[in-house]
Amino acid sequence: MAQNFGNMLKQAQQMQARMMKLQEELAAKTVEASAGGGMVTAVVNGKHELLSLKIEKDVVNPEDIEMLQDLIVAAVNEAVRKAMEMAQAEMSKITGGLNIPGLM
């Protein structure tokens, strides 16, 4: 029984090391999403951090700030969603598809 526990502990430590490495790798990966036919583009990394936001000048209308705000929110939310999907896909490679609460 002690040997089984030792093996489980070793496997858990290996998984933890792989997860830490994955988190570093995800920080370097980016996803991009746009809204309004490319008028607003957001780039987010695997840590769900907004890295850049590009707004085409044609969409900037002082009379319709609400539309611009909506496009920004839509682009950022879509980029974050894509980053989450990317992180989950990478994590499933480590966990073998197990859904372990609190990992991502």
54 found inside a domain: yes
Residue 100's H or E segment, with its range, is none
Residue 86 resides in a domain: yes
Q: Is residue 88 part of a domain?
A: yes
- The reply to whether 77 falls in a domain is yes
Across 49-61, b (16+ Cβ under 10 Å) vs e yields eeeeeebeeebee
Q: How many CA atoms lie within 13 A of 73 on its CB side?
A: 6
> Which range, 52-56, 60-64, 94-98, is most confident?
52-56
Q: Domain range holding 34? A: 2-95
Q: Are 48 and 86 in contact (CB under 8 A)?
A: no
Which residue type does 74 have? A
Q: Mean of the pLDDT values across residues 69-83?
A: 96
Residue 7 resides in a domain: yes
pLDDT confidence tier of residue 99, bands split at 50, 70 and 90 = low
Residue 43 CA to residue 41 CA, distance in Å, equals: 7
Q: What is the count of structural domains for the chain?
A: 1
Q: What is the pTM of this model?
A: 0.74
Specify if 100 maps to a domain: no
For residue 53, give the CATH number of its domain: 3.30.1310.10
pLDDT band, very low/low/confident/very high, at 78 (cuts 50, 70, 90) = very high
